[in-house]
Each structure stands twice: as structure tokens, then as C-alpha cells.
Amino acid sequence: MLKEQYIALSELFIYPKEGYIEKVRDCRLYLENNYPDAASSFKRFADFIESKSLFEIEEIFGITFHIQAICYLDIGYVLFGEDYSRGEFLVNMKREQAKINHDCGEELADNLPHVLQLLAISEDEDFVQELTVRAVLPAVEKMFEEFKTSRMALKLKAIKKKQKAIIMEDVTNGNIYQNALQALIKVLKKDFDGVFYEEPEQIIAANLKGFVDAACGSSCSFINNKTTKTV
């Protein structure tokens, strides 16, 4: 079953183009109807986007994720930096994207919006659970934390010197994309509540068991180390 929430959320982190404002509006409505807690976090972002032109939104997106980025959207880089594990993770993600016939265009296969679309489309629920709990959620939480660190203060200092008032409005009370990430975190936590893995110190791994099983030609099963909490 297609998980519409992740398709809607993925659109937020794709470079803004014609129709972006409408997609944000649709995402807001979906969250209000299905994830009210996430919708409350999303409100500031949605209100801001609704009041700006596409050109202004492009500027904000660019300084957030591209130009002297506050954070990066490639999950492998967020988790592993320049470590060799990053390459291993990316190779595995390319294989998973190919399985669902998803074209990532010029972006890497572990770029956040494309990973969210993988979560939405993949029919292997065990693999989706492992990928989310052991990689996607930790990565998105790290992205969110970047908006609270000293990097944000340095970014603000640079923006004051170079950018226009619209950008200043974006960061006065914190960059608006932190609200989009916070909403995503709340959706992920609600959807995967009760799913966790043993050996928490090893949660983040470039070569998840689902990847290994898939490479061997079997199904992406990794229930050996998964615990599901029953309520």
C-alpha cells in the first residue's frame, strides 16, 4: 500500500519549482487530518511558504540546504560523513531505489526526498521498518539538531552581511525548514512507535541486514534482531 504521508513530505525537500506552494498546502491538509501533532509543528513552515513567492522560497531553500548549508539532505553523509561506510550505504540505496524503479535524477539515491519516496513505495515492510528506525530517523534527527548548534549562529552572522530582508525573516525565530523536519520526525515516530532493535549502540549501520539479505537474493528479512512492542 502506498504510504501517502511520505510522498507528501518528500515534496518539501525537493528544490522548489512551480507547484511547490500547492504541495505544501496539500501536505498541511494531510497532516491536519492524519497527524495533528505533526501539523502543529508544520504550521509555521506552511504559513511562511504560503506568504512568499516561489523566488523567495528558492532563496531560502538554497541557503538552507545548498549554499553554506545548515544541513545536508544526503542521509549517508549525515550518518557517516566521509567514512567509507557512506559509499557502502549509497551503493545499497541505489539498489533499493532500482527495485522500485524510482529515478532519482541528478540527486543521490540517499537524498532525503528520494529515501522518503522509497519508504512510501516499497512493499517490503520489514525492510522499511529497519531502514527507518536504524537510518532514516537518526539521520533526520541529526539534521534537525543542526538548526540548534553554533553553525546556525555563524550562518545568521553571514546572512546579515549578504542576504535580503526575506532571508532575515526566515531565520529570526529559527529557519523555517526546521519546522518541516520536526513534523517529519513526529510522523516517523508515530508510524514506527514500538519498533526498535537490540544493541542500540550499533543502530546506525551502512550495511543493514535487509541490504545483506537482498544482495544474497532472498527477501529483506531482518526480524532476528527486531523487537516489536505490544501495547
Residue range 51-101, pLDDT digits in tens: 999 999 998 899 889 877 888 999 999 999 888 889 999 999 999 999 999
Residue with cell 528506525: 133
pLDDT digits (tens, 9 = 90+) for 148-194: 765 666 666 665 655 554 454 555 567 899 999 999 999 999 999 98
Whole-angstrom distance, CA of residue 95 vs CA of residue 217:
12
Q: Which cell numbers in the block locate residue 137?
A: 530517523
pLDDT digits (tens, 9 = 90+) for 88-144: 999 999 999 999 999 998 899 999 999 999 999 999 999 999 999 999 999 999 999
What is the predicted pLDDT for the residue at 51? 92
Q: What range does the domain containing 120 cover?
A: 4-228
In contact, 139 and 155? CB cutoff 8 Å: no
Whole-angstrom distance, CA of residue 144 vs CA of residue 138:
10
| H or E element in which residue 195 lies | strand 195-197
Q: Please state, as a whole number, how many other Cβ atoms lie within 10 Å of the Cβ of residue 128.
A: 23
Domain count, the chain: 1
Q: Which cell numbers in the block locate residue 185?
A: 520526525
